[in-house]
């Protein structure tokens, strides 16, 4: 007789969706042949989440059969902006991700076992095109594109975290930016809409940032958020997908999320065409999303 279980991998992955969205939409376009290439690594370890009511709690706190749950994300990402023409910029990103979920399963009085599941590989390729509406000190652009799953399992055989939704998503955003010249600083902000495939509901996107150059040092502070078009359900129930696998009925919760993050960044110029960068992605609030801070460091190349 088939047993019924809740797949921790599916649930943890859904909580982790917010850290997988790492594109950096901007108001400015590149001239023909110009590029901005960023290669970076990122690390997150957390034992906490924001529940459906926005309250901070331990992972799977509501599940008495699990304790000491944690999630780890190690990612290596390539991000590129390239001027195809003076009025058309290609924006693309390719992440390699390693997700690990761990928990202690309580089978009975004094009966506990540690469970660890890891999945790694290429996640989702994003490809966008950006076109300018204004190109002066006040810049305004529109960007549209798609997210393409790269062949990973939507329901991994080992029950671990999936590397993406496995669905094709589309996105349309608009951004405005203001140069504060002669002060070497700028302000920008934008809004957008993500059309999501599969069981997921669409999302409204928003962000704002300010940056300043101080000699060879560049400092930026960014705030970004996602607002789901439906109230996120409790990850312990509500919207589910039943997926039979090898005699087991695996219940994967298809919840949706809201979140707000702050992203401070420091970059230091090595020369005219290269820089090193360090940043953090901290989730300050949300619903059905992981809590914690992702730390990242990498190299930037420009022309």
**Complete domains list, the chain, with CATH:** 3-302 (2.40.160.40)
Please give the average per-residue pLDDT across 208-234, as a whole number. Answer: 91
Q: Which residues of 43-62 are buried (b: 16+ CB within 10 A; e: fewer)?
A: ebebebbbbbeeeeeebbee
Q: How many CB atoms lie within 10 A of CB 253?
A: 21
Note the pLDDT tens digit of each residue in 52-86.
Answer: 888 999 988 877 788 888 999 999 999 999 999 99
Single pTM value for the model: 0.86
Residue owning tokens 């360090």: 278
Q: In what order do the strands lie in the sheet with 240-245?
A: 3-6, 248-253, 240-245
Q: Is 107 exposed, middle or buried (0-12, 13-18, 19+ CB in 10 A)?
A: exposed
Note the pLDDT tens digit of each residue in 97-138.
Answer: 999 999 898 877 778 888 899 999 999 999 999 999 999 889
Spatial separation of the C-alpha atoms in residues 131 and 151, rounded to whole Å: 30
pLDDT tier for residue 157 given thresholds of 50, 70 and 90 = confident
Residue 1 has pLDDT above 90, yes or no: no
């Amino acid at each position: 007789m088939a047993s019924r279980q809740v797949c921790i991998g599916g649930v943890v992955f859904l909580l982790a969706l917010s850290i997988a969205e790492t594109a950096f939409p901007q108001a400015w376009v590149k001239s023909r042949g110009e590029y901005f290439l960023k290669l970076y690594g990122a690390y997150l370890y957390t034992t906490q989440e924001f529940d459906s009511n926005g309250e901070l709690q331990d992972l799977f706190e509501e599940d008495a059969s699990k304790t000491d749950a944690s999630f780890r994300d190690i990612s290596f990402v390539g991000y590129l902006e390239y001027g195809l023409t003076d009025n058309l910029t290609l924006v693309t990103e390719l992440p390699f991700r390693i997700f690990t979920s761990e928990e202690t399963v309580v089978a009975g009085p004094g009966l506990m076992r540690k469970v660890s599941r890891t999945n790694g590989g290429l996640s989702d390729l994003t490809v966008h095109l950006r076109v300018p509406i204004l190109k002066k000190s006040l810049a305004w652009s529109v960007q549209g594109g798609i997210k393409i799953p790269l062949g990973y399992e939507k329901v991994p055989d080992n029950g671990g975290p999936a590397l993406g939704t496995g669905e094709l998503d589309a996105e349309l955003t608009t951004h405005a930016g203001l140069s504060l010249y002669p002060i070497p600083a700028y302000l920008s902000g934008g809004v957008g809409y993500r059309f999501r495939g599969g069981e997921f509901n669409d999302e409204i996107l928003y962000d704002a940032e300010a940056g300043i150059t101080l000699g060879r040092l560049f400092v930026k502070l960014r705030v970004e958020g996602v607002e789901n078009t439906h109230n996120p359900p409790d990850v312990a129930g509500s919207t589910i997908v039943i997926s039979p696998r090898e005699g087991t009925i695996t219940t994967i919760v298809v919840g949706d999320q809201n979140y707000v993050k702050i992203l401070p960044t420091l970059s230091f110029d090595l020369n005219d065409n290269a820089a090193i960068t360090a940043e953090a992605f901290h989730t300050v609030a949300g619903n059905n999303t992981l809590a914690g801070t992702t730390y990242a460091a990498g190299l930037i190349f420009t022309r």
